[in-house]
Amino acid sequence: MIGISGSSMKNFSTENIIHISDVINNCFKCMKYYLLRLEYSLLDYQRRCIRWTCYRTIKPSIWITTYSTIITSIMLTAIRRPKSIIGLPLSFEDLEEMFNIQRLDITIVHLLVVFMLLEYLWFELFKKIFSYNFPLNDLFIKYYNYNDNLLERRLRHYLTLFYQIIHSISTLFYRLTVLTILSGYALFMIHVGYLYLDGKWNTFQWLLFLQLWTMLLFRLLYLLGQLFLVMKFLLFIVEFWRIQFIKMFQTTQILFRCNRNKMDFNNSINHRLFWQSFHRQYLALYLDTWKFDDTIRIVLVAMEMAAKSAIIDCTVFVSKQLRINLHNTFVILWLGSAFAYIKVIYSHVSSLPFYNQRYSQLIMNWNARTYWQRFCTRQQQRLLQESSSSSWTKLKHFNARIILRDVIKSNLFIQTMTNNLFGLNCGQIFFITRYKYLELLLMDVMLILLFYKKICLY
């Protein structure tokens, strides 16, 4: 069910196996910089003594927020006054002529939307951490010294393989995109340098543009880190919980299969021990998912809005191009890949409710079969009741009350499992399931057709 072959796992040595605690610690460091823009330790958060007045703590917030505010203001000004960007002898028409691209302002609008979404995201997360109401940190504290022996060796091998794949893919795309942006940055700076040497720009204008263009470069690199580096940890955490759910599902399935024809399983202490163990594991996994969802739901809704903006702007941008060349192809691939990358993440996240549904169906089927077994047991007890002693009858009644209590508890828990939203939410808009994911894809297709018909054809 996990899709792990034994031959592929033999290539791993003990040194290649990752440690869950190391991945979680790297996730915490990455989240501090790219989402919270703070520098603190888990011990400071646990003791509620983060030093907010210390410059080292809020240094990332000050500089990154300042850069983002300046870049956002410049973009707003450039959209309102496209003939002269911040008073420089440079317009969108000059940039479009330079790169042979039409309607370059569409990409600026998309970047503006993404930057504003990320600033709102940072503000909401900062409020949570400032009030020490950040459940994700509780998960980091819990898994800070996670015992890897709690997982089977094959599951650790699978997690290692999964992490290596997503790490390689995210790093590859991150470096390729960074190299492309740096190449464009260098070429454009060379072009502006020629304008300065020709006397079309004075020294102040050239230095101002150099500073602002460098700030935009840093902001784009920061955006790429948020998109590629942070999201790989999101995928790993979801996969980590998914295999724990699958392990619990397979263990229960084997237990039910082995005891399907044993009448004493439902009336023995094994039945109660199973439910106690199952309750503990399921509730622990559900609590971890809830804590993770409490923080990530706002990230997922920002990603969904960014994906909608990317596919709409990509559709409009393609329709306005007169000829396809290297530069506008890069813009199209950039917008399209941003949409596809976010949809891949949503596809992986939507798997958690599916396994919860399968697990609840397994428990319900098993519970239905036990009713018939209890009925047969009662019939046998009635036949033996006349010949049994009074003490034996009292013992049977006592066992019957215990069984009835277990039945009520199991039925109530099965109903709770069925109604549980075991997974992640897209903000407060909807719960992410495979059905909702397919519905979102169809809605995206409708958006593309709508904008192409209403805007692109006129």
Q: Taking Cα atoms as reference points, which of 216, 204, 226, 207 lies closest to residue 67?
A: 216
Report residue 5's pLDDT band, with 50, 70 and 90 as the boundaries. Answer: very low
Contact (CB, 8 A) for 37 and 122: yes
Report residue 96's pLDDT band, with 50, 70 and 90 as the boundaries. Answer: confident
Distance CA 146, CA 423 (A): 22
Distance CA 300, CA 231 (A): 10
**Helix residue ranges per DSSP H, 100-202:** 105-130, 135-142, 153-197
Q: Taking Cα atoms as reference points, which of 174, 181, 214, 207 lies closest to residue 193?
A: 207
Q: Which residue has the tokens 């079969």?
A: 369
Distance CA 319, CA 231 (A): 31
Q: Positive or negative, the Cα torsion across 438, 224, 170, 103?
A: positive
Give per-residue pLDDT as tens, 110-126.
888 899 999 999 999 99
Contact (CB, 8 A) for 275 and 409: yes
pLDDT of residue 81 exceeding 60, the answer is yes
pLDDT of residue 275 exceeding 80, the answer is no
Task: Report the 10 Å Cβ neighbour count for 21.
Answer: 15
Q: What is the pLDDT of residue 403?
A: 62
Q: What is the pLDDT of residue 126?
A: 92
Give per-residue pLDDT as tens, 223-264.
888 888 888 888 898 888 888 888 887 777 776 666 555 544
Task: Report the 10 Å Cβ neighbour count for 140.
Answer: 18
Q: Taking Cα atoms as reference points, which of 230, 352, 236 lies closest to residue 299?
A: 230
